[in-house]
């Protein structure tokens, strides 16, 4: 059940349901002046000296997002449907579906349920929120409603409807007294029949199993007969995906789903249902959850910024939801002030970015503003509100230490010293997390091994996964047709097109060196041995080109977006090596060719960067010819904050390189006396 036929998944993600024109698309509401970004009212810098955010401000943020959504609701009958963002997101024909409306309904509930828990009489834009959602839940079973959802047919497969019903079940668990109890017996019975038809059915072998689990668990809790055997089968299979140190495998990928999704669903299921009915399963989920503390916080920058990495990045700060849920686990030794600083910082990373909220009052599909390369075909405009799952952390009560402990910067204050670099390797998942105290950034290296030929959904083979590394300070830039590349290699293939590497095989992490092999998808004759050595100010790459076919090759550094004025460029020669530096007023990036490259150039790009329309990246360039021995590309990819001076020793910290083709080794001698032996096997 690892992969489903293309036609089945197309129906799952795209066109399930009736087609109809959106009632509200014609009159999108413009944001009021001064209200585009989230404003902190009365920030509390005593409790939260870094962000000013408390539990109250989290509720304010949920209300802010929900208000934008409700700007499209004038009556109780109005569906939660929003203007389409141009591009690959569905509905690509502009004709809205009931599945899309179901997304709007169920996903906006993630912001609503914590507010309704504490204020069942909440009103937004003159609409009684609880009454609206109850009314819309009833309309899901009304064949005359444009939002009607048919029960799954006996041979129906997994679909986007299953996803949304899984999310709806989570919300029903959160506030049953508001959303479920007031319904009539007939309304309950009809809704249960529809939702269980999807929950008691096939799924996808990934975090999707939790959608079935939550649907069946909620209705079992309400006294309905459910397929308990199937439910427990999905629980067992979900637990089997655990790989240790907090990480689950999401079949086949590792990404934020592998952490935030599994490590939200497991604890919430345990809290809502598992501890009461299946305490042994709940204990397993919570034991796995407690291991999050050791490494996941290190995946965020000192300021709480998350890394742009993996699919569904439009869900943004949903990635922070495990941190408040640590308040449920009450694991001794947890630094709750640091956990809240990360979660609040990640939230503000987006809520206070001027490009996050579009003029139509709905967040963009992208990272900050709209960014088509990061959008997947299974997303609609309402999909962004999956980020609202972060607010499920408000289930942690006001007096919990997650909310009361003084905000701090945790490891960045006490264990991560400037002038050093820190690596955390996860043996089960093969993920490497690196922290750079000099700029307060976090970095990740993880799984990618997907061909474009088999990746019909076009996300696992793309820049979402195929970068050599991902950094919280430098969001990834998309590849350009003319060879523009950031943090990856590209080769000129037989079609005379620049092709990025994506078929990586992890080898080992040894003596602080992260080893991978990689082969070009369209030619087995082009292959490299890769070795990443992290440094206090960047990365030293020692890579062997062991190809047997001639090719042009380029290697890109991280890219810089244009901020206030043009990006500055300079070239130097330091200790006999060519150095290129670019500076955007926030950061400066330096690339140094130690050996193997013909030259370097600064490449300007338009429309490829998620932060700015204009950007620049330094590329090393070469023309490879097969030799009797492998070509070694030794490249320094360095960074500093803008305005800081570079010393020659910082730009060229390597004193000597010795390559032994016979032993497949490269000895690196650093100027400060340290040596590294790179051992390719």
**In this predicted model, what pLDDT tens digit does every residue of 393-443 receive, in sequence order?**
999 999 999 999 999 999 999 999 999 999 999 999 999 999 999 999 999
End-to-end distance of the chain based on CA atoms, in angstroms? 34
Q: For residue 495, how many other CB atoms are within 10 A of its CB?
A: 8
**What mean pLDDT do residues 520-547 have?**
97
Assess whether pLDDT exceeds 70 at residue 467. Answer: yes
**What mean pLDDT do residues 360-366 have?**
97
Rounded Cα–Cα distance for residues 681 and 676 (Å): 16
Assess whether pLDDT exceeds 80 at residue 25. Answer: no
Rounded Cα–Cα distance for residues 301 and 182 (Å): 44
Can you tell me which residue has the tokens 């299921």? 269
Assess whether pLDDT exceeds 70 at residue 128. Answer: yes
Which of 33-37, 258-262, 308-312, 365-369 is predicted with the least confidence, judged by mean pLDDT?
A: 33-37
Rounded Cα–Cα distance for residues 410 and 549 (Å): 50
Can you tell me which residue has the tokens 């997947």? 376
Rounded Cα–Cα distance for residues 466 and 485 (Å): 11
Tell me, letter by letter, the H, E, C secondary structure of 271-319. Answer: HHHHHHHCHHHHHHHHHHHHHHHHCHHHHCCCCCCCCCCCCCHHHHHHH
Position 48 scores a pLDDT of 98
Position 5 scores a pLDDT of 39
Assess whether pLDDT exceeds 60 at residue 10. Answer: no
Rounded Cα–Cα distance for residues 452 and 392 (Å): 36
**What mean pLDDT do residues 351-368 have?**
97
How far is C-alpha 266 from the chain's CA centre?
19
CB 383 within 8 Å of CB 375: no
What is the helix (H) or strand (E) element at residue 167, kind and residue range? helix 160-174
Assess whether pLDDT exceeds 80 at residue 8. Answer: no
Verify cis geometry, omega within 30 degrees of 0, for the bond prior to 278.
no
Assess whether pLDDT exceeds 80 at residue 34. Answer: no
The DSSP output letter for 224 is -
Residue 676 structure tokens: 């590294």
Rounded Cα–Cα distance for residues 427 and 446 (Å): 11
In tens, the pLDDT along 136-194 reads 999 999 999 999 999 999 999 999 999 999 999 999 999 999 999 999 999 999 999 99
Kindly indicate the confidence band of residue 448, based on its pLDDT and cuts at 50, 70 and 90: very high
- How does the average pLDDT of the chain come out, rounded? 94
Which of 11-15, 32-36, 304-308 is predicted with the least confidence, judged by mean pLDDT?
A: 11-15
Phi-psi category of 273—alpha, beta or left, where left has phi over 0 and alpha has psi -120 to 50? Answer: alpha
Kindly indicate the confidence band of residue 664, based on its pLDDT and cuts at 50, 70 and 90: very high
Q: For residue 123, how many other CB atoms are within 10 A of its CB?
A: 13
| In the chain, % of residues over pLDDT 90 | 92
Rounded Cα–Cα distance for residues 268 and 118 (Å): 19
Rounded Cα–Cα distance for residues 552 and 594 (Å): 19
Kindly indicate the confidence band of residue 36, based on its pLDDT and cuts at 50, 70 and 90: confident
Rounded Cα–Cα distance for residues 370 and 356 (Å): 8
């Amino acid at each position: 059940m690892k992969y489903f036929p293309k036609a089945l998944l197309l129906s799952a993600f795209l066109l399930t349901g009736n087609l109809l024109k959106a009632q509200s698309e014609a009159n999108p509401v413009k944001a009021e002046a001064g209200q585009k970004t989230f404003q902190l009212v009365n920030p509390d810098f005593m409790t939260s000296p870094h962000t000013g955010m408390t539990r109250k401000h989290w509720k304010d943020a949920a209300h802010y997002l929900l208000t934008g959504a409700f700007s499209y609701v004038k009556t109780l009958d109005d569906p939660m449907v929003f203007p389409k963002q141009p591009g690959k997101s569905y509905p690509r024909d502009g004709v809205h579906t009931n599945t899309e409306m179901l997304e709007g309904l169920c996903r906006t509930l993630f912001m609503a349920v914590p507010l309704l828990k504490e204020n069942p009489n909440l009103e937004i834009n003159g609409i009684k929120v609880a009454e609206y959602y109850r009314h819309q839940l009833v309309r899901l079973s009304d064949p005359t409603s444009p939002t009607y959802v048919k029960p799954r047919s006996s041979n129906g497969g997994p679909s986007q409807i299953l996803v949304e019903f899984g999310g709806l079940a989570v919300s029903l668990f959160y506030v049953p007294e508001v959303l479920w109890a007031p319904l009539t017996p007939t309304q309950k019975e009809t809704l249960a029949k529809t939702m269980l038809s999807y929950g008691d059915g096939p799924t996808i072998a990934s975090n999707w199993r939790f959608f079935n689990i939550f649907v069946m668990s909620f209705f079992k809790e309400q006294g309905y007969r459910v397929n308990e055997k199937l439910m427990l089968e999905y629980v067992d299979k979900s637990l089997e995906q655990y790989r240790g140190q907090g990480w689950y495998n999401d079949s086949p990928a590792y990404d934020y789903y592998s952490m935030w999704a599994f490590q939200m669903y497991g604890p919430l299921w345990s809290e809502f249902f598992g501890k009461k009915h299946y305490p042994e399963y709940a204990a397993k989920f919570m034991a796995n959850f407690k291991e999050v503390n050791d490494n996941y916080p290190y995946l965020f920058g000192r300021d709480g910024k998350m890394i742009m990495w993996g699919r569904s990045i439009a869900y943004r700060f949903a990635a922070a939801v495990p941190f408040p849920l640590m308040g449920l686990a009450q694991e001794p030794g947890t630094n709750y002030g640091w956990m809240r600083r990360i979660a609040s910082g990640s939230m503000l990373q987006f809520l206070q970015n001027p490009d996050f909220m579009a003029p139509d009052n709905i967040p963009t599909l992208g990272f900050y503003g709209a960014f088509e390369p990061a959008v997947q075909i299974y997303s609609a405009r309402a999909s962004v509100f999956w980020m609202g799952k972060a607010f499920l952390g408000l289930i942690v009560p006001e007096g919990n230490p997650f909310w009361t402990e003084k905000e701090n910067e945790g490891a960045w204050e006490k264990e991560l010293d400037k002038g050093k670099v820190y690596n955390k390797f996860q043996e089960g998942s093969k993920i490497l997390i690196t922290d750079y105290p000099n700029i307060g950034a976090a970095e990740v290296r993880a799984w990618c091994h997907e061909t474009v030929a088999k990746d019909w959904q076009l996300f696992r083979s793309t820049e979402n996964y195929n970068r050599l590394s991902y950094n919280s300070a430098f969001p990834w830039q998309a590849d350009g047709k003319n060879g523009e590349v950031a943090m990856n290699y590209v080769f000129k293939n037989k079609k005379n097109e620049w092709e990025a590497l994506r078929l990586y095989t992890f080898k080992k992490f040894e003596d602080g060196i992260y080893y991978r092999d990689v082969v070009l998808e369209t030619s087995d004759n082009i292959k490299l041995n890769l070795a990443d050595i992290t440094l206090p100010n960047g990365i030293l790459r020692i890579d062997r080109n062991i190809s047997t076919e001639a090719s042009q090759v380029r290697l890109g550094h991280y890219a810089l977006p244009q901020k206030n004025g043009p990006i500055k460029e300079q070239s130097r020669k330091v200790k006999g090596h060519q150095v290129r530096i670019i500076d955007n007023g926030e950061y400066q990036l330096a690339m140094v060719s130690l050996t193997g490259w013909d030259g370097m150039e600064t490449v300007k790009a338009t429309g490829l960067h998620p932060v700015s329309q204009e950007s620049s990246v330094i590329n090393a360039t070469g023309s490879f010819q097969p030799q009797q021995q492998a070509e070694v590309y030794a490249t320094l990819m360095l960074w500093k904050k803008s305005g800081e001076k570079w010393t020659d020793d910082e730009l060229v910290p390597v004193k000597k390189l010795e390559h032994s083709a016979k032993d497949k080794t490269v000895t690196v001698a650093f100027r400060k006396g340290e040596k590294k032996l790179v051992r390719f096997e």
